[in-house]
Amino acid sequence: MTAPDVLQPSSPEEAVSLFEAGVTVIGGGTIVVPDMTSGRLRPEKAMLLTGAGLSGITRAGSRITIGATTPVSELVALPAPVGPCAANVADIEIRAQGTVGGNLCAGEGLEAPRGDLQGALLAVGATVRSAGAGGETTEPLEDFLPHRQDRLLLDVTFEEPSAGAFAPLIRPHTHDYTTLAVSAARAADGTLRLAVSGVAGHAVRLPGAEAKASDVEAAAGASPADVTFADDALASAWYRERTLPVLVRRALTQLQEDS
């Protein structure tokens, strides 16, 4: 195996100029490095973002912007559902090393969907600034997720919600990816968003459940129709389908209590 050509940008501008589709982007290394060690991944070209100056959380009023290489551990103090969702990712060491960008952009794993933070950030209506073919764009996270593999994520921005809730299934083991987790948030303008992580592909909004959110039982009952369930080593699609309404009910109940 030949060692990959490794790009090491020292500024965001340099990272953007060096990025091209197909390059393996490394944030913290928690996904790419073990895949390379095992031989599952043999990149020809890789880009290491450690020195690219893309880390950190900035606040402007109620607006929170998270740089791509910010460690997951730095999100733990953010309001629900983002903070509790970050606290639920893997263990202390992995949270301190894995990055927000890596967590959002990673493809599906061998045994389960990845992207624990996707659902919480969908629920707060996050937008993503990214670079790639056609230049820099800013778009809603739900539009970014389907083509995330072709983009270099630069940062994620959202308005602090007026209320938030996070209702996960307990992980079988701390190192498992999210089996199923529902995030709920009420924006300052009253918009209520519901999203679920641990489904097939990437996390999704629950529009059918959102439309009925004023009635918790109706929203819970409507939620399975919004989703294609993953069927994998962590849980069967059968189990996830029956569990989603329970988590939607918990999240909406928490949200009412938080409001």
Residues of this chain that interact with another protein (CB under 8 A) are: 3-4, 6, 8, 26, 28-30, 33-34, 36-38, 46, 48, 50, 90-94, 96-97, 174-175
Whole-number minimum distance, CB 45 to another protein, in Å? 11
**Rg of the chain (C-alpha set):** 18
Q: Which is nearer to another protein, 29 or 208 (CB)?
A: 29
Q: Which of 165, 29, 180, 186 is nearest to 93 (CA)?
A: 29
Whole-number minimum distance, CB 89 to another protein, in Å? 11
Alpha-carbon distance 257 to 191, whole Å? Answer: 17
Whole-number minimum distance, CB 25 to another protein, in Å? 12
Q: Which is nearer to another protein, 169 or 184 (CB)?
A: 169
> Dihedrals φ, ψ of 168, to 5°?
-100, 160
Whole-number minimum distance, CB 33 to another protein, in Å? 5
Around Cβ 191, how many Cβ atoms within 10 Å?
12
Q: Which is nearer to another protein, 9 or 113 (CB)?
A: 9
Q: Which is nearer to another protein, 38 or 214 (CB)?
A: 38
Q: Which is nearer to another protein, 1 or 60 (CB)?
A: 1
Whole-number minimum distance, CB 114 to another protein, in Å? 13
Query: Which residue is it, tokens 């009023």?
Result: 61
Alpha-carbon distance 158 to 93, whole Å? Answer: 26
Whole-number minimum distance, CB 181 to another protein, in Å? 18
Contact 98/90 with Cβ under 8 angstroms? yes
Q: Which is nearer to another protein, 50 or 256 (CB)?
A: 50
Max CA separation in the chain (angstroms) = 58
Alpha-carbon distance 133 to 145, whole Å? Answer: 16
Contact 251/185 with Cβ under 8 angstroms? no
Alpha-carbon distance 242 to 240, whole Å? Answer: 5
